[in-house]
Each structure stands twice: as structure tokens, then as C-alpha cells.
Amino acid sequence: MDIFAFPPIAAILDLAYGALTGLSAFLEPFTGTAAAASAVILVTLLVRALLIPVGISQAKAEQTRARLAPKLRVLQKRHKKNPERLQRETMQLYKDENTSPLAGCLPVLAQAPVVGILYTLFLRTEIAGHSNDLLTHDLFGAPLGTSLVHMLTTGPFSLPTLAVYAALIAIMIVVAEITRRVFRPVAVDDSPMSSPTILRMMSALHYLTAVFAVFVPLAAGLYLTVTVTWTLVQRVVLRRRYPLPHPA
């Protein structure tokens, strides 16, 4: 059974296809053969602009969690022999402050449907029963519907595809490194989440987007590159607006 043939899903894909092809046609006089890629970038910027309020809420939540760090340390020491009581008291503290330890995940979750739609639009040869014209578009000679892994394992080999992916992955790695250095997590004494192993794992997560990008069509990889760059710039701006308290 083809889940994408299910009428509601097919209708959503067809609507997204029509919007993206229409935007590509509008941009073609200005961007030429990169019209579809330009449309993906414009959609990315629009989605991120709509998520600015979410980013502000995330920055406020991060500021609150940093302010709560001393209280969390007290709870860690007070209930270190009673994990259930510690978890209950910790969640109550977050509840009293009207925040959540998972508040930072919301922007990622909000963008997941957009990435999923782009992935599907540049993967399927047919959308809602008609041919997919988006697969004929490219960026500097690299087809928007081809992933790096597919090109390297299945072929045909394309130097433009390799070059474009190399540029995008390089950008994502640089952004991840800057993010890792600038936005280090606030450590809480005696907390399992502050152990060297956990902190190294959290640092490695910054590079996960670059790894994920090699498996998705170039259009989705382009979306990921733009969105991680936007995220870094937005976090720098919001950190100035909502600075973290200096540790005592």
C-alpha cells in the first residue's frame, strides 16, 4: 500500500507541489535554472520567520533553566539517594517556573513536517497521480532530487553534486562548531547530565544535521543548511537580548 496515495496525504503533497512549482516559476526570470533551489531557500526563510516567536520562547526558557541551575544543584544534593523524589521535585520546580527541560526541542519538532514534505516532493517521480517536474531542477548542475549517498552508491557519479554537497556540509560543520563553542550547556554539579560522557554526546549532536543531510535529497539538504545557519544567527541575537545569569 502506498501511503502517499491516501487522499488527505496526496492532497497535502499536491498542494505543496503546486505552491513550490508556482514559486519556482515566479523566481525563474530572476534566478534562472536555480529557480527551484531559490524557492526552497525562500520557503526555509519563511518557515524560520514564522518560528521567531518559538525561538524567543526557547531563549526565555534557556535563560530560566540557567537561573534554576543553583536550585537544581540543591535538589541533587538533597535527594541524591532517592532518584524518584529527585525526579518529582525537579519536575515540580520546572512546573512552578512555567518551563520545561525539553523546551528547546520545539523548533526542531515544528520543522519536521516541512522537511518531510520537501523530502517527499524531491523523491517521488509522481505526485498525486501526475509527473513530478521538480525532479528536473538542479543547483549548479546538481539534481535537487539526488542524495549524496544515492549518487555515491547507485550512481551515476556527478562531480557537480559532490561539489555542492561538499559546500553545504562544510557550512553545516562550521555552523555546528561555532554553535558548540558559543552555546555550551550549563553544567549542574553531581548531575548525570553533566558527566563528561553526556556532555561529549551533547556536543556531537550539533553535527548530526550534517550527517543526516547526506541521506536526503539535495533540496532537503539545502533546507537544512539554511535553517541551521538561521538558527545560529537567531540564537546569537536572542542571547544578547536574554543573557544567561553569570555563575556565582
Task: Find residue 143's DSSP bridge partners.
Answer: 138
Which three cell numbers mark 165? 554537497
pTM score of the predicted model: 0.81
Higher local confidence (pLDDT), 129 or 211: 211
The C-alpha angle 95, 98, 100, rounded to 5 degrees, equals 70
Contact 42, 23 (CB under 8 A): yes
Nearest to 232 by CA among 162, 176, 166, 188: 176
Rounded average pLDDT over 37-56: 92
Write down how long the chain is.
Answer: 248
Q: In which region does residue 155 sit, left (phi positive, over 0), alpha (psi from -120 to 50) or beta (all else)?
A: left
For residue 187, pLDDT over 60 is answered with no
Domain boundary assignment for the chain: 3-241
Q: Which of 16-20, 70-74, 100-104, 152-156 has the lowest mean pLDDT?
A: 100-104
Rounded average pLDDT over 66-72: 78
Rounded average pLDDT over 121-126: 89
Q: Whole-angstrom Cα distance, residue 126 to residue 123? A: 9
For residue 194, pLDDT over 60 is answered with no
Higher local confidence (pLDDT), 200 or 179: 179
The pLDDT value recorded for residue 1 is 60
Which three cell numbers mark 45? 526563510
Mean pLDDT, all residues of the chain: 84
Q: Which amino acid is at 103?
A: A
Phi (first) and psi of residue 171, to 5 degrees: -60, -45
Q: Which residues fall within 8 angstroms of residue 5, CB to CB, at 6 or more apart?
A: none
Q: Whole-angstrom Cα distance, residue 127 to residue 129? A: 5
Looking at the chain, the whole-number percentage of residues with pLDDT higher than 90 is 46
pLDDT by residue (tens digit) across 143-152?
999 999 999 9
Looking at the chain, the whole-number percentage of residues with pLDDT higher than 70 is 85
Q: Where is mean pLDDT largest: 30-44, 66-80, 103-117?
A: 30-44
What DSSP line would sit under 123-189, residue for residue?
T-SEETTEE-GGGG-EETTEETT--HHHHHHTS---HHHHHHHHHHHHHHHHHHHHHHHHSPPPP-T
Q: Whole-angstrom Cα distance, residue 132 to residue 146? A: 14
Q: Whole-angstrom Cα distance, residue 232 to residue 206? A: 11
pLDDT by residue (tens digit) across 105-117?
666 676 788 888 8
Cis peptide leading into 7, omega within 30 of 0? no
